[in-house]
Chain A
Amino acid sequence: NAGVMQNPRHLVRRRGQEARLRCSPMKGHSHVYWYRQLPEEGLKFMVYLQKENIIDESGMPKERFSAEFPKEGPSILRIQQVVRGDSAAYFCASTGTEGSPLHFGNGTRLTVT
Chain B
Amino acid sequence: DQQVKQNSPSLSVQEGRISILNCDYTNSMFDYFLWYKKYPAEGPTFLISISSIKDKNEDGRFTVFLNKSAKHLSLHIVPSQPGDSAVYFCAAKGGATNKLIFGTGTLLAVQP
The chain A residues found within 8 Å of chain B, CB to CB, are: 4, 6, 33, 35, 41-45, 48, 55-56, 58-59, 91, 93, 98-99, 101-107
Contacts and interface: CB of A to CB of B under 8 A. Distances in A.
A4 B89 CA distance: 19
The winner among B36, B42, B44 for most chain A CB atoms within 10 A is: B44
Interface string B85-112: 0000100000001111111110000000
Contacts of B32: 99
Given A33-B99, A48-B98, A98-B98, A42 B44 contact: no
Contact of A48 (B34, B49, B89, B99): B99
Given A56-B97, A105-B43, A42 B49 contact: no
A21 to B, nearest CB: 13
Nearest to A103: B46
A105 B41 CA distance: 11
A4 B45 CA distance: 11
Given A42-B89, A42-B105, A43-B89, A102 B45 contact: no
B43 A91 contact: yes
A84 B99 CA distance: 27
Nearest to B32: A99
Contact of B43 (A56, A99, A106): A106
A106 B36 CA distance: 13
Contacts of A98: 98
Contact of B101 (A45, A56, A99): A45
9 contacts: A33-B99, A33-B100, A42-B89, A43-B89, A44-B102, A45-B101, A58-B99, A101-B46, A104-B44
